[in-house]
């Protein structure tokens, strides 16, 4: 593929862990409280957690070193192990003995990192790191690690780990800042579509053993207290690459100021990514928003429980977990429907400027989204397609999802749901045909692709003068080849003109030549965006961000922000430049010339 590594390369550049010293995770004097903004207003807390850093450092030091397939070397983990070499021998022996006592099958699973994260979140802040007195509060997967908690506290007290925190803090803070931008952008998009505000308080009630048996006339009585709900998005750079752990079966022991029960705290723990983890952030925020929405429609759902459960149980590809409770089915169905509807909505805004020329592309996006919800229905999210259809009406009415969900549940029609397999059989061939045609356009046997691959190699080698005529020939032969225009834009933006390279040329002439060259690059990026195919959103994303950089360089900040916002509107497309767009909107990615 021609220059498809911009976004991933930038992330690996940030997170393959060049070490930066000097930052403190805990300043000596806490700064004055500032008004909360963005996602923090709704109890969505993003950033590192010292307990997870220390616990994962201890687990790695004890012997854990598993990685996901094809992952790059975790240089931070390797460097930290070297820095911990001065740990006292007796403590080292105890920690490694405990690790060796874990059954081999469990030691050799990346999920051990998720169990350690659950243990850390259940423990009080360091230096104590005490677990709750009742084992009932500790998740099942963390129970075998309970004996490791005292060793983590001893590790914190006697090893060099405490003094190393300032060295590794910048890596965690950089990833946390990226996750914060994603969370803010995602929350804004979700709330704008759902016309709602996150519910961050709920009322306590005695536990119900079987939620499916709850009815208005058999709810337990008793004092009902207000409980706080929170979502924590936490980076973990010592766990396996690309691993994402989402759970709400842990009670955060660091939060002591509000009354909560297990289930009120949501956690998203993210390993170092090879690409932006937008999907994980989106799904967890949606789950956090939708959980109480589903609960408040409990009576309407209870009235349809038998039908919903029957459809879910007979789903041909039903997953074994998470689909036995009708409330879980409803949440999964609604979350998948919202995701797909948001994809359609984004495409609608993006393609509106193309008028009739964008209708075919929009139809392709719609059918892709429809296939997604049908496949979710096959996996047990039995109301996903129904919700997807109903959410189109929500977007038009502007009603709060809290008001609209009971209506969606009540309008659920068994006869219509029985026709869903036939609808899927109709839409699937069209989507698969479109995908096959897209794949054929980039078939390795294509002479055009061979030329593009040759140009790609030349560009990587910075042999711009050799790559230019190849790309110009492709663009002349096929004026709709976005990759050719994208490559020419890359060359134009990077290859200085003869005037700029002439040491005897007047400075004003050099400046004029630079300006002309960059304007030409922007024009070529625009052409690439205009002719890009539906499967080339990565190219559109990268082109828009490169335009933003050029605008920033030229001190055209408003134009730069507009370009970044267009890239953000595309979403976190594979191989795109979403993360760079978020950063660029916040501050110029290229230093503005003075």
pLDDT tens across 485-512, in order?
999 998 888 888 777 777 777 777 778 8
299-325 pLDDT, tens digit each: 888 888 888 888 888 777 776 544 568
Q: Is residue 290 part of a domain?
A: yes
pLDDT at 251: 86
Angle, vertex CA 90, rays to CA 85 and CA 95, nearest 5: 75
Task: Please indicate, yes or no, whether residues 159 and 232 belong to a single structural domain of this protein.
Answer: no
Task: Please indicate, yes or no, whether residues 341 and 420 belong to a single structural domain of this protein.
Answer: yes
Which range of residues forms the domain containing residue 424?
181-205+222-431
pLDDT band at 448 (very low <50, low <70, confident <90, very high): low
CA atoms of 70 and 182, how far apart (whole Å): 26
Q: Is residue 544 part of a domain?
A: yes
Exposure b/e, 101-133, CB count within 10 A at least 16 = b: ebeeeeeeebebbbbbbbbbbbbbebeebebee
Can the peptide bond before residue 548 be classed as cis, meaning omega within 30 degrees of 0? no
- How large is the angle between the packed helices 6-15 and 578-586, nearest 10 degrees? 70
Res 366 pLDDT > 70: yes
Q: Is residue 24 part of a domain?
A: no
pLDDT at 38: 66
Res 518 pLDDT > 60: yes
Task: Please indicate, yes or no, whether residues 348 and 446 belong to a single structural domain of this protein.
Answer: no
Of 401, 431, 461, the residue that ends a domain is 431
pLDDT at 478: 85
Q: Which CATH number belongs to the domain containing residue 527 in this structure?
A: 1.25.40.10
Of 431, 450, 475, the residue that ends a domain is 431
Ranking 244-253, 271-280, 355-364 by mean pLDDT, the lowest is 355-364
Average pLDDT over residues 575-585: 87
CA atoms of 525 and 550, how far apart (whole Å): 11
Res 574 pLDDT > 90: no
Name the E strands within 197-264: 201-203, 226-228, 230-236, 244-247
CA atoms of 562 and 585, how far apart (whole Å): 8
pLDDT band at 439 (very low <50, low <70, confident <90, very high): low
Task: Please indicate, yes or no, whether residues 360 and 310 belong to a single structural domain of this protein.
Answer: yes
Q: Is residue 110 part of a domain?
A: yes
Q: Which of 279, 228, 312 is nearest to 45 (CA)?
A: 228
Task: Please indicate, yes or no, whether residues 376 and 448 belong to a single structural domain of this protein.
Answer: no
Res 104 pLDDT > 80: yes
How far from 285 is each of 42, 182, 289, 290, 520, CA to CA, in Å? 11, 11, 6, 9, 41
Task: Please indicate, yes or no, whether residues 152 and 50 belong to a single structural domain of this protein.
Answer: yes
pLDDT at 474: 87
Q: Is residue 591 part of a domain?
A: no
Q: Is residue 556 part of a domain?
A: yes
Task: Please indicate, yes or no, whether residues 189 and 322 belong to a single structural domain of this protein.
Answer: yes
Of 387, 403, 431, the residue that ends a domain is 431
Task: Please indicate, yes or no, whether residues 325 and 364 belong to a single structural domain of this protein.
Answer: yes
pTM greater than 0.75 (yes/no): no
pLDDT band at 96 (very low <50, low <70, confident <90, very high): very high
CA atoms of 288 and 504, how far apart (whole Å): 63
Higher pLDDT, 226 or 166: 166
CA atoms of 104 and 124, how far apart (whole Å): 29
pLDDT band at 432 (very low <50, low <70, confident <90, very high): confident
Res 108 pLDDT > 80: no
CA atoms of 310 and 442, how far apart (whole Å): 44
Q: SS3 sequence, 285-341?
A: HHHHHHHHHHHHCHHHHHHCHHHHHHHHHCCCCCCCCCCCCHHHHHHHHHHHHHHHH
Task: Please indicate, yes or no, whether residues 199 and 327 belong to a single structural domain of this protein.
Answer: yes
**361 class by beta-carbon count within 10 Å (0-12 exposed, 13-18 middle, 19+ buried):** middle
Task: Please indicate, yes or no, whether residues 452 and 353 belong to a single structural domain of this protein.
Answer: no
**How many domains are contained in the chain?**
3
Q: Which residue has the tokens 């074994």?
A: 320
Task: Please indicate, yes or no, whether residues 421 and 471 belong to a single structural domain of this protein.
Answer: no
Instruction: Look at residue 226 and give its three-state secondary structure.
Output: strand
Task: Please indicate, yes or no, whether residues 304 and 352 belong to a single structural domain of this protein.
Answer: yes
Q: Is residue 236 part of a domain?
A: yes
Res 101 pLDDT > 80: yes
Res 30 pLDDT > 70: no
* Residues 488/456, Cβ–Cβ less than 8 Å: no
Q: Is residue 370 part of a domain?
A: yes
* Residues 209/224, Cβ–Cβ less than 8 Å: no
461-481 pLDDT, tens digit each: 677 778 888 888 888 888 888
């Amino acid at each position: 593929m021609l220059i498809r590594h911009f976004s991933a390369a930038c992330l690996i550049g940030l997170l393959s862990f060049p070490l930066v010293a000097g930052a403190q995770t805990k300043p000596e004097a806490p700064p004055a409280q500032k008004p909360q903004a963005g996602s923090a207003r709704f109890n969505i807390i993003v950033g590192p957690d010292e307990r997870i850093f220390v616990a994962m450092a201890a687990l790695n030091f004890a012997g854990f070193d598993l990685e996901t397939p094809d992952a790059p070397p975790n240089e931070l983990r390797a460097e930290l192990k070297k820095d911990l070499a001065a740990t006292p021998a007796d403590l080292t022996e105890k920690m490694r003995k405990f690790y060796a006592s874990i059954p081999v099958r469990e030691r050799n699973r990346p999920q051990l990192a998720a169990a350690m994260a659950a243990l850390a979140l259940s423990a009080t802040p360091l230096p104590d790191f005490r677990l709750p007195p009742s084992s009932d509060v500790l998740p099942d997967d963390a129970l075998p690690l309970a004996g490791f908690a005292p060793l983590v506290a001893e590790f914190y007290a006697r090893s060099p780990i405490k003094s190393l925190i300032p060295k590794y803090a910048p890596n965690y803070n950089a990833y946390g800042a990226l996750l914060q931008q994603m969370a803010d952008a995602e929350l804004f998009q979700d709330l704008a579509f759902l016309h709602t505000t996150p519910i961050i308080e709920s009322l306590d009630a005695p536990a119900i053993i079987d939620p499916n048996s709850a009815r208005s006339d058999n709810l337990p009585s008793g004092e009902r207290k207000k409980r706080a709900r929170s979502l924590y998005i936490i980076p973990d750079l010592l766990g396996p690459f690309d691993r994402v752990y989402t759970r709400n079966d842990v009670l955060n022991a660091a939060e002591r100021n509000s009354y909560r029960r297990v289930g009120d705290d949501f956690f998203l723990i993210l390993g170092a990514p090879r690409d932006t983890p937008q999907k994980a952030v989106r799904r967890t925020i949606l789950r956090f928003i939708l959980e109480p929405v589903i609960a408040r429609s409990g009576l309407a759902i209870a009235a349809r429980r038998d039908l919903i459960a029957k459809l879910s149980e007979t789903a041909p590809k039903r997953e074994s977990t998470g689909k036995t409770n009708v409330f879980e089915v409803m949440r999964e169905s609604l979350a998948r429907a919202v995701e797909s509807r948001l994809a359609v909505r984004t495409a609608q805004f993006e393609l509106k400027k193309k008028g009739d020329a964008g209708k075919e592309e929009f139809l392709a996006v719609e059918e892709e989204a429809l296939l997604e919800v049908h496949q979710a229905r096959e996996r047990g999210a039995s109301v996903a397609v129904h919700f997807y259809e109903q959410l189109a009406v929500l977007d038009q009415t502007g009603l709060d999802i809290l008001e609209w969900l009971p209506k969606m549940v009540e309008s659920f029609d068994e006869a219509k749901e029985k026709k869903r397999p036939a609808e899927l059989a109709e839409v699937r061939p069209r989507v698969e045909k479109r995908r096959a045609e897209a794949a054929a356009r980039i078939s390795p046997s294509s002479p055009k692709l061979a030329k593009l691959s040759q140009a790609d190699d030349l560009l990587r080698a910075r042999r711009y003068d050799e790559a230019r005529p190849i790309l110009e020939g492709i663009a002349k032969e096929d004026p709709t080849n976005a990759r050719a225009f994208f490559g020419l834009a890359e060359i134009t933006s990077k290859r200085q003109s003869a005037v700029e390279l002439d040491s005897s040329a007047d400075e004003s002439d050099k400046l004029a030549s630079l300006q002309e060259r960059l304007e030409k690059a922007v024009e070529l990026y625009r052409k690439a965006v205009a002719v890009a195919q539906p499967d080339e959103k990565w190219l559109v994303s990268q082109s828009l961000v490169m335009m933003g950089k050029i605008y920033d360089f030229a001190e055209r900040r408003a134009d730069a922000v507009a370009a970044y916002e267009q890239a953000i509107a595309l979403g976190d497309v594979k191989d795109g430049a979403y993360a760079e767009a978020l950063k660029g909107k916040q501050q110029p990615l290229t230093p503005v010339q003075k």
